[in-house]
A and B are shown apart, each in its own frame.
Chain A
Amino acid sequence: MSTDRATRKGLLLVNTGNGKGKSTAALGILVRAAGYKFSIGMFQFIKSAETRYGEHIAAEELGIDIVPLGDGFTWLSDNIEADRALAQKGWQRVQEVIESEQFDILILDELTYCLTYGWLDEAMVLDVLRRRPSWMHIVVTGRNASPALIELADLVTEMHLVKHPYREKGIPAQPGIEL
C-alpha cells in the first residue's frame, strides 16, 4: 500500500474553476485519506473562525481539525491591509506545519484568492509548495488558479459550472450540501 511515506509520490493537486466541487472534492480526499489513518490538516483561508459547517462537525468525529484561518476576523473587509495581514498570518502557520512534517495530506482551501488579491507573494508561496517533503500531498482549492500554480501542480481539475440551482432557480445554499 502506497500509504508509506518512503514509497509515496506526494502530489500537488489544484481544484479550480467556477463550478461546485472544489472544496467538496478536497473534503472527499480527506474522507479517503482518513480511511487509511493518514494525518490530515485542512486550513481554510477566507472562512472565518465562526464558520462551523457540516464538514467541521463530521471531521471532528474523525479526529481531524479543519482550521478556519480567519481567527475571528472577517475576511474581505474594507481594509485591504487587515486582509493582507490575516492572509500572511495564516500562511505563516501553513509554512510551519509543512516544515514540521506532521501531516501526510494538507488541504489549503481557497488559497488561490490570497494570490489573486495579492495578499501573498505568489513566487514565495509556490517556492514553499515546491520544497515540501517528497511524500506530502497538498490540495489547493479556489477559483482562478494562476498559470504558474497550474504549471507547478501535478493534478489540476477545472470544476466547470453547467447548471446551478442558485443561478437557475434562486435556491440558496443549503446545509448538508453547500455548508
Chain B
Amino acid sequence: MTHPDLPLEDDLEPTVELLDDEIEPRVDPLAAPKTALAANGRKVPTPKQKRPGAYRVPPRKDRHGLLIVNTGHGKGKTTAALGVMLRAHGRDMSTAMYQFVKRLGNTGEHRTARLLGIETVAMGGGCTKSRRKEDRDLTEDRNRAIAGWELCARHVTEGTYDVLILDELTLPLKWGWLDEADVIRTLQERPQGTHVIVTGRDASQALIDAADLVTDMRVIKHPLREQGIKAQGGIDV
C-alpha cells in the first residue's frame, strides 16, 4: 500500500537528546494531612482548605461522554489533548494516553505524566515517512498498531479511564492497518460517561460523523516551514 508523503509531527524526533534521569516520587500537595493526635489523645480536625477544592465531577451516569477528534495539519492536536489530560487530572478523573506510531516514551509530556502518576504509553515504531520513501517493510509498525489497538479497545470497552487519549490513531486507520468500522463501533459502544480523544491528521468522514467534538488545526504559519527551525523540547516534544 502506498502512502502520501506526510511530514508527521514525529519527523522531528531525532533532534532531541533525552536525558534518562530519575524522577522523584509524586507528592500530592492537595492530599488531606494524615490524622494527627493532639496531646489529650483526641483527633485534631482536618483544617479546611483555604482555596476552593476540586469541583465535584458528576458520576458517569450524569456525564455526557464525548468522542473528541483533533485533526488537521497544524500544531495542536496532541498538545490540546495533553491540555485536556491536565484538566482531567486536576479534577481527579482517571486519564491516560496511548500513542500510535510514536516511539519516544521520554518526551516532555511523558516525564510530566510520570510526575503526576498518569499512564502514557508510546506504542509505535516511530515515524514511517522516510521508511515509506525507501519502500521498507512496515510489517512491524503495522503489527504494533494492531496490538496497540487491541489493548486500547479493551480499555475503551471496559471504561478503564474517564478520559482516554488515543494519540495519532487516525494514521493506522488511514493506512488501512486497522478496520475502521470496527474501531468506530468500539468507540461508539464505550461505557456511558467516558470521554475518548482521538488525534491525528486526516480524520475520515466516518470518524468525524461519529464524533461529538471535532477541531481542525490549521497551519497559518510554522517555524519549520518558514524558518527551518526544528522541533524544540518543551514546545514540540
Q: Which residues of A contact B (CB under 8 A)?
A: 1-3, 8-9, 11, 13-17, 19-21, 23-36, 38, 50, 52-62, 104-105, 137, 150, 153-165, 168-169, 171, 174-179
A31, B162: Cβ atoms closer than 8 Å: no
**Cα distance, A79 to B141, chains bound together (Å):** 59
List 19 additional A-B contacts (Cβ < 8 Å) besides A23-B83, A32-B109.
Answer: A11-B235, A29-B235, A31-B113, A32-B236, A34-B108, A36-B233, A52-B52, A55-B87, A58-B87, A61-B28, A61-B30, A104-B234, A154-B229, A155-B222, A159-B76, A161-B215, A168-B212, A177-B66, A177-B87
B88, A25: Cβ atoms closer than 8 Å: no
Known: A25-B79, A56-B90. A154 touches B112 (CB 8 A): no
Partner of A52, one of B55, B108, B219: B55
Closest to A17 in B: B218
- Tier of interface size on chain B: 35 or more
Give B94-140 interface residues, CB cut-off 8 Å to A.
95, 107-113, 115-116
4 nearest A-B residue pairs (beta carbon): A35-B111, A27-B83, A54-B90, A28-B79
The 28 sampled A-B contact pairs (Cβ below 8 Å) are A1-B16, A2-B232, A11-B232, A20-B215, A21-B76, A21-B83, A21-B215, A25-B80, A30-B86, A32-B79, A33-B233, A35-B108, A35-B234, A54-B91, A57-B30, A58-B90, A59-B90, A61-B30, A137-B235, A154-B227, A157-B76, A158-B218, A160-B72, A162-B215, A163-B213, A165-B64, A175-B55, A176-B93
State the main secondary structure of chain B at its contact with A: mixed
A54, B79: Cβ atoms closer than 8 Å: no
B153 / chain A contacts, CB cutoff of 8 Å: none
Rounded to whole Å, the gap between the CB of A139 and the closest CB of chain B is 9
A35 / chain B contacts, CB cutoff of 8 Å: 107-112, 115, 234
**Cα distance, A25 to B79, chains bound together (Å):** 5
A20 / chain B contacts, CB cutoff of 8 Å: 80, 213, 215
